[in-house]
Every structure is written in structure tokens, then in C-alpha cells.
């Protein structure tokens, strides 16, 4: 019996083992502590990494600042380049417009100079007519007969000035024009008379005037044909006699 009492005494007496009372920590607090420690470790590692780069001469923040400044400068240069391109395009457009306007003005100036030259020539012709003896002058005279190629291949434009003189001045002249074309087509010579019989455009060759008449028209041959000579004839209605004729040789 005494041994059992001694065991009980040792358990509850002075010689009893020490008992520690501990408070158990909740699981979420444990996770919070772990996350805080991980964040501190990551911050410390980043600081150590940045400090190592600074010590080695590389500053990430400085490089990021320089990169941002370079991007901003690049954007500014790109915008300036676009602005200069727009100015250059506008300048090119203005230059093209001005060049076109200058070409048109030059064409108009040449046309006016040609008209002025023609008017002076006609004035000289009229002055010679007035100073000449009407009895010795022909009834109808042909002046400034020209034949030039037109835009369409095989098409030609003719111009001439008809002047009534002599005894014809006192009455109106009524007649018609005839064109005789000498050409070579595919190695063969040919002669074409205009207007042709049954030609619906014969009315374009009719003439009615008293003092003078400017005549202008077009005719067409085969594009492969080479026109060598054009003869113009002026015939009076009711008579088969040719009142005036002129031959133009083309180069």
C-alpha cells in the first residue's frame, strides 16, 4: 500500500513533474504570420537585388526614367515628322496647282499671241485689198490655209480665210468647199475627194458670205495612211467653175 502512496505523492507533491500551460494559436493567424514573413523576405531580396545593381553601376529606376524620356522624345519626333510630311504634301499640292495654272496661262498666252498674229495678218490682207484695184483682183481669194493633225489618229483639222474681192464685193457669195486628199496607204497611192457623194456631212462644206469668211473643219483618213497633199477648192453654186484653189504639201 505504501508504494502506491509514494507514487501519488510524487505526482502531486514537490517532486511532481512540471506542467506548462500553452495557449493554442488559431490557424489563420499562423497563415498571416507566414505571409508577412514571406513579404518581408521578398522585400529584403528586392532591396538587396537593387542595392547590388546600384553597386555594380546599374540603376533600374534611372534606366526606367531614361527609357520613359526617350519614348516621350520619340513620340515628339514622330509627331514633328508627321507635321513636316503634311506641310511637304501641302507644298507639293500647291506647287502642282501653281504649275498647272502656269501651263494653262502659257497656253492661253500662246493662243492669244497666235490670235494676235492672225489678226495682224488679216489686217494686212485687208489693207492690201483696199489699196488694190478691184478690177484686177480675183473674185475669191484663199489665205492662211493650214492643215494640222488632230488628237485622234488619222484625223486632221483644216483652217483657211476666204475673202471676197473684185467685183464680187457687191454681192453675197454662195458656194461650197471641196478637199482633194493625196495620200499613201499600205504602199499604195490614193486620192480622196471630200465631201464624197452621198456624204451626210456635205452641209459642213457649204459657204455663204459677202466680204470674208473664216472656215474651220476636220476630216479623217485611215490611221495607217500618210497624208502628203491637200488641195482646197472653192466652187460657186450654179457653176462648175472653180473660183479659187490652193495646194498644201505636208512634210
In this predicted model, what pLDDT tens digit does every residue of 170-211 receive, in sequence order? 678 888 999 999 999 988 999 999 987 766 555 568 888 888
- pLDDT of the residue at 198: 62
Confidence bin at 72 (pLDDT 50/70/90): confident
0.95 exceeded by the pTM?
no
- Above 90 in pLDDT, residue 44? no
Q: Give the residue carrying C-alpha cell 512540471.
A: 18
What residues contact 118, with CB distance under 8 A and at least 6 apart? 144
pLDDT in tens, 115-164: 787 777 777 766 666 655 555 555 788 888 999 998 899 999 999 988 88
Whole-number Cα distances in Å, 134 to 129, 171, 242: 8, 14, 20
Long-range contacts of 35-44 (CB under 8 A, 24+ apart): none
Got the DSSP string for 227-244? Answer: EEEEEEEEEETT--SEEE
- Quick one: which of 168, 238, 240, 232 has its CA closest to 205? 232
d(CA 101, CA 103): 5
- The domains of the chain, with CATH numbers, are 140-249 (2.60.40.10)
C-alpha cell at 82: 508627321
Q: How much is the pLDDT for 164? A: 81
The band of 16, judged by pLDDT with boundaries at 50, 70 and 90, is low
User: Of 43-52, 102-111, 156-165, 173-182, which range is least confident?
Assistant: 43-52
- Does position 226 have pLDDT exceeding 70, yes or no? yes
**Rounded distance between C-alpha atoms, residue 227 and residue 182, angstroms:** 6
Prior bond of 195 cis (ω within 30°): yes
- DSSP-assigned states of every residue in 177-188: EEEEEEEEETTE
Amino acid at each position: 500500500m505504501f508504494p502506491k502512496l509514494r507514487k501519488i505523492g510524487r505526482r502531486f507533491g514537490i517532486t511532481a513533474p512540471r506542467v506548462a500551460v500553452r495557449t493554442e494559436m488559431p490557424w489563420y493567424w499562423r497563415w498571416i504570420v507566414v505571409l508577412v514573413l514571406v513579404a518581408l523576405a521578398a522585400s529584403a531580396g528586392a532591396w538587396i537585388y537593387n542595392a547590388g545593381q546600384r553597386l555594380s553601376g546599374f540603376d533600374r529606376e534611372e534606366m526606367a526614367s531614361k527609357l520613359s524620356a526617350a519614348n516621350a522624345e520619340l513620340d515628339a519626333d514622330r509627331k514633328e515628322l508627321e507635321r513636316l510630311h503634311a506641310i511637304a504634301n501641302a507644298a507639293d499640292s500647291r506647287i502642282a496647282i501653281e504649275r498647272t495654272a502656269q501651263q494653262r496661262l502659257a497656253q492661253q498666252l500662246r493662243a492669244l499671241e497666235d490670235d494676235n498674229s492672225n489678226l495682224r495678218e488679216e489686217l494686212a490682207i485687208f489693207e492690201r485689198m483696199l489699196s488694190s484695184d478691184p478690177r484686177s483682183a480675183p473674185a475669191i481669194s484663199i489665205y492662211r490655209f493650214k492643215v494640222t493633225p488632230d488628237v485622234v489618229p488619222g484625223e486632221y483639222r483644216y483652217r483657211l480665210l476666204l475673202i471676197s474681192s473684185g467685183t464680187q464685193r457687191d454681192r453675197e457669195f454662195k458656194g461650197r468647199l471641196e478637199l482633194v486628199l493625196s495620200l499613201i496607204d499600205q504602199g499604195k497611192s490614193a486620192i480622196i475627194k471630200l465631201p464624197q457623194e452621198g456624204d451626210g456631212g456635205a452641209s459642213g462644206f457649204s459657204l455663204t458670205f459677202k466680204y470674208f469668211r473664216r472656215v474651220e473643219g476636220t476630216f479623217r483618213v485611215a490611221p495607217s495612211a500618210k497624208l502628203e497633199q491637200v488641195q482646197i477648192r472653192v466652187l460657186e453654186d450654179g457653176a462648175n467653175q472653180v473660183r479659187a484653189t490652193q495646194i498644201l504639201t505636208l512634210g
